[in-house]
Structure 1
Amino acid sequence: MDRFLTKKWIVAIIAVFCSILWGSAFPVLKVSYIELQMAADDTMAKIVFAGMRFFLAGIILVFGMIFINRKALFVTKKQVPVLVIFGIVQTGLQYFFLYNGLSKTSGMQGAILVSGLTFFTVILAHYFYVNDRMNWQKTIGLIAGFTGIVFANWGQEFEFSFQFTGEGFIILSTLTGAIGTIMAKELAVGIHPFALTGWQLTIGGALMLLVGYPLMGQDAMTFTPIGWGLLIYSSFLSIVAFALWFSLLKYNKAGEISIYQFVTPLSGAVLSVIFIPGERFTIFIIAALLLVVLGVMAVNYKPKSDEGNQ
């Protein structure tokens, strides 16, 4: 029992740490857009910036694995297509939508909307895992969570606002991320979590650079020392958060660790208020945060009798 509780605490601490890191990404990205003077509608600049972040993160992780555990980097011919698909979905598509969507929303909105990843994962898990079916707690949690996402789009004038290329893109990003979560559990069997992270970041980042760089204007980004610092922080954020999270996924149920993702919208909203000029809490943002947190906790709630049977 003590060993089981110790494992649960370690999992909880790692999962919360990952969620805080992901939460910090929202103000970092918003400040990066300002610092690098990127236009809100410059899609290619966002793709290139994302590609730089993830390619750098992937290369650093792969290079580090050469010295730590070189054998783990080797994959079979059958695993190569999995890594390519995973890089396209988990890195390329997910962050294409997130980076471009976030440029047209606030940092707080982005942090709350991204919580949809948890809810989409719960829905997909119902169809993929016989021991992770929908129940009344999850149903209530999904209703609360998606209601919170709706509240996040309510403005000061009590009017609902929604842009497909803004909020819509972020929601598509969460759906793509949920698909990637299931893929990591189902398809990446036999691949070391750190190797999976390194290869998918490198492949996804390289594809984004190949697509975006030839079409990007010359003055689309203006790098400063602060801008470079933000890029480097974002890269290391990806290395640590993804590697640790995929390690948790490898040895735990996706539904069990996703409860800790309630920290992401909380930390993202608080850090956005602190670091992004002009952002502040509103009654709708507070209501959205409460609903999303309750939703994430509800979809992962397990009665004590169920926990004792595990």
Structure 2
Amino acid sequence: MKGIFQHKWSVIGIAVFCSILWGSAFPVLKVSYEELQMAQDDIAAKIVFAGGRFLLAGLMVLLFLMFSTWKRIKVTRRQFFVLIILGIVQTSLQYFFFYNGLANVTGMQGAILSSAGTFFTVLLAHFYYRSDRMNWRKSVGLILGFVGIAVANWGQEFQISFQWDGEGFMILSGLTAAIATIMAKELATGIHPFAITGWQLTIGGFIMLVIGFPFLKEGDIIYTHFGLGLFIYSALLSALAFALWYSLLKYNNAGELSMYKFIVPVSGAILSAIFIPGERLNNFILVAIALVAIGIIIVNYHKKA
């Protein structure tokens, strides 16, 4: 198993696969909102939907770990405390902003705005790691990336649209993801990647359900067979993508892997245009995708020695 996560071409293939899975989340969630008839401003329904998804995803990973290498599911008291913190930050908080923000932007905008997390990670690493300081290359990449995010919100009249509970929440989701990335790298040492994934998704999802259920009213979520299928798919993609990505991080340089994250906004925008009724790629979105993708590649590019 270790060799798969270290061989050059399998690493590239897995990184690309994970990025496409994450990109598919944008149209899946937007279509789910419509299919399950969740009101745009219904925060409780989205918290419950997200909580159920991540609880199921986390349990999938833990069950797999239990039947394959069950000893790795065990963690110490200190490690479990770390996993609770990760569950709160990386699952509960990040996806509170993500689910509610995505309801108020298009799927294509959401895919591009979510890339802010990559650029925030570079900024935070500058202040946290002495060996990962900013330089002219990273500065250029950050500028291109944030300009691309701004272009994604331009209308035909060249006016930038911004809603605090839309674009604002998506950017806060990216910032939370960046904080969680550094936390996971620093705090979760000694824990198996699948255990990190399973526990933090399970804990975070459970917390969201506890918070959301008391405010959920009858009729807030109308279940259908198709909607249930979308829900299960979204749980599977989370379990698979996070578990594989953490495994890659264990054996590979985080900066080199992050370069493949440029595929997330690209695949997310293209899949949104294909599957979400009324969404079409336009010049603003294409320029935004290009700027964000180039920005991500530049900030994560490392010359071979």
- Interval containing the TM-score (normalised by the shorter chain): over 0.9
Question: What is the letter of the counterpart of residue 218 of structure 2?
Answer: Q
The equivalent of 2:148 in structure 1 is 148
Check the 8 A contact 1:51/1:204 in 2, yes or no. yes
Q: Distance in 2 between matches of 1:298 and 1:60?
A: 36
The equivalent of 2:283 in structure 1 is 283
Cα distance per residue 1:194-248 (max 9 Å; x no partner): 0110000000000000000111111100010000000000000001100011112
Give unpaired runs (5+ residues) of structure 2.
none
SS state at 2:100 partner: helix
The equivalent of 1:49 in structure 2 is 49
Give 1:156 deviation, angstroms.
2.6
The equivalent of 2:116 in structure 1 is 116
Question: What is the letter of the counterpart of residue 31 of structure 1?
Answer: V
The equivalent of 2:255 in structure 1 is 255
Give 1:170 deviation, angstroms.
0.5
Q: Distance in 1 between matches of 2:71 and 2:178?
A: 29
The equivalent of 2:13 in structure 1 is 13
SS state at 1:217 partner: coil
Check the 8 A contact 1:19/1:261 in 2, yes or no. yes
Question: What is the letter of the counterpart of residue 77 of structure 1?
Answer: R
Check the 8 A contact 2:61/2:243 in 1, yes or no. no
Cα distance per residue 1:152-192 (max 9 Å; x no partner): 11113322100010000000000001111111111000000
Q: Distance in 1 between matches of 2:239 and 2:56?
A: 10
Check the 8 A contact 2:56/2:235 in 1, yes or no. yes
Check the 8 A contact 1:185/1:250 in 2, yes or no. no
TM-score by length of 2: 0.96
Q: Distance in 1 between matches of 2:197 and 2:250?
A: 12
Give 1:143 deviation, angstroms.
0.2
Check the 8 A contact 1:44/1:215 in 2, yes or no. yes
Q: Distance in 2 between matches of 1:57 and 1:42?
A: 23
Give 1:205-284 correspondences, 5 Å limit. Answer: 205-284=205-284
The equivalent of 1:139 in structure 2 is 139
SS state at 1:260 partner: helix
TM-score by length of 1: 0.95
Cα distance per residue 1:269-294 (max 9 Å; x no partner): 00000000000112111111110011
Check the 8 A contact 2:256/2:302 in 1, yes or no. no
The equivalent of 2:103 in structure 1 is 103
Q: Which moved more, 1:12-21 or 1:203-212?
A: 12-21
SS state at 1:223 partner: coil
Q: Which moved more, 1:241-250 or 1:35-44?
A: 241-250
Give 1:254 deviation, angstroms.
2.1
SS state at 1:78 partner: helix
Give 1:145 deviation, angstroms.
0.1
Check the 8 A contact 2:151/2:284 in 1, yes or no. yes
SS state at 1:132 partner: coil
Check the 8 A contact 1:122/1:255 in 2, yes or no. no
Give 1:132 deviation, angstroms.
2.1
Q: Distance in 2 between matches of 1:85 and 1:106?
A: 31
Give unpaired runs (5+ residues) of structure 1.
none
Q: Distance in 2 between matches of 1:131 and 1:7?
A: 26
- RMSD over aligned CA atoms reads 1.2
Aligned pairs, number? 301
SS state at 1:153 partner: coil
The equivalent of 1:294 in structure 2 is 294
Question: What is the letter of the counterpart of residue 136 of structure 1?
Answer: W
Question: What is the letter of the counterpart of residue 209 of structure 1?
Answer: L
Q: Which moved more, 1:9-18 or 1:73-82?
A: 9-18
Check the 8 A contact 2:57/2:236 in 1, yes or no. yes
Q: Distance in 2 between matches of 1:117 and 1:244?
A: 19
The equivalent of 1:161 in structure 2 is 161
Give 1:8 deviation, angstroms.
2.8
Q: Distance in 2 between matches of 1:23 and 1:229?
A: 18
SS state at 2:145 partner: helix
Q: Distance in 2 between matches of 1:190 and 1:226?
A: 40
Q: Distance in 2 between matches of 1:271 and 1:166?
A: 20
Cα distance per residue 1:62-116 (max 9 Å; x no partner): 1121111110010011111100000000000000000000000000000000111
Q: Distance in 2 between matches of 1:292 and 1:233?
A: 27
Q: Distance in 2 between matches of 1:186 and 1:256?
A: 18
Q: Distance in 1 between matches of 2:244 and 2:122?
A: 20
